[in-house]
Structure 1
């Protein structure tokens, strides 16, 4: 990666973003896009910003579909570099995903997406909330000392506007059934990613295998997915009678 190609966002630009965003999710998406553009070199970096507030599901904004899938995998396991940075307030660097044993299943899932390294940096917030900036790299050796320092400086520079946004936009209250649905979807997505790796198949084929296993064993899709994430093998479909 290295230094971004453009100047860092000015306080005025960040204030305009907050004023023009109709909701917190829209603001966070804009802030993530700005971060990805600034931190990227020839092209934007894969970035995501995660915010947790007491009593509500996390709000995650991703710079693209690839980054969104990577973050959904992390939340399915309820553990990983970004969540560690967010919950403990310290930067987390995974220089080589393939050889990292701190988050074995998560590492396997993101490796299947072609990710070589991950950097997660906390963003300071007021009490009652926590946030982190997550950056993904498809090549090794990207997050050197200078780059880590640059990402940490950027995270510090957007802390103030994020704190303002949290005050301006109240938390969205999700019904309990919707919370469960969101978590269930993330678990299924993570299981699909592992099936893709284990069977060297497409996402569509992995989803088909998961549904076949659920029907063959008369088990809920969420239960099968949870078992797979915990190390179980994919049940084989029953042969036709």
Structure 2
């Protein structure tokens, strides 16, 4: 169970951020506050960040506490693999106890280990029926995060989803930009294509999503465009 001091700190952070969310432009500043809060409230974290969908529907680090976080995130987007992308793709918590021995994202783990990052914890930022992005913390020592850190980061991410989603206001359906509306449409296409690839290749959700991410990276095309091509093509056509 969470301690009273920690609960008080989190309440203060949420109250400070909520006062900022008067417009969509405030969301990035709020994400920066949440990143700092994650690093400060989770003592074993050396750095933290929040990644959100940008206006094209692709992921971009909108807030990071330091250059190491920015660099690690950039490597994920370049390689098309890593715990942050997987947290976003699967909408589930991802934890790396030691980048030197973890085998799920070999290329990214090697890059992270070389940069001095040993432990990683990443969770999705959810708002109602969609995933806005992911929140992550890094540490320079192996085994830095356990169930206590998971609970705290999940709580922060839950608040982040509610607060960042609320930045759109109660009249969100009328105020959403065309770009954001397109992003939501794109997400539906990506989910449908992921399901089709799961069935076509008899694989799991994360592996199917990785196929889309890899094709997006290799072809230099937006993820949603790749997804639509999958939906339009026959089963015997290559991705």
TM-score grouping bracket, smaller chain normalisation: 0.5 to 0.7
How many residue pairs were aligned?
A: 171
Match of 1:159 in 2: 161
Note if contact 2:38-2:137 (Cα within 8 Å) is conserved in structure 1: no
Structure-1 separation of matches of 2:56 and 2:41: 32
Match of 1:99 among 98, 101, 108: 101
Structure-2 separation of matches of 1:106 and 1:156: 26
Match of 2:51 in 1: 50
- 2:9 counterpart SS class: coil
- 1:7 counterpart SS class: helix
Alignment deviations for residues 163-208 of structure 1 (CA, whole Å, 9 cap, x no partner) = 11255785696xxxxxxxxxxxxxxxxxxxxxxxxxxxxxxxxxxx
Match of 2:233 in 1: none
Structure-1 separation of matches of 2:178 and 2:109: 31
Give 4+ residue runs of structure 1 displaced > 3 Å after superposition. 3-6, 19-24, 126-129, 166-173
Report the Cα offset of residue 144 of structure 1.
Answer: 1.6
- 1:108 counterpart SS class: helix
Match of 1:130 among 129, 132, 142: 132
- 1:119 counterpart SS class: strand
Match of 2:30 in 1: 27
Match of 1:40 among 25, 43, 62: 43
Structure-2 separation of matches of 1:36 and 1:172: 34
Within the alignment, does 1:108 sit opposite 2:127 as a pair?
Answer: no
Structure 2, gaps ≥5 residues long: 180-217, 219-239
Match of 1:150 in 2: 152
Alignment deviations for residues 8-50 of structure 1 (CA, whole Å, 9 cap, x no partner) = 1434212123248844433322332232222236xx6411111
What RMSD in Å do the two structures reach over aligned CA positions?
Answer: 3.0
Structure 1, gaps ≥5 residues long: 174-225, 227-241
> TM (normalized to structure 2)?
0.61
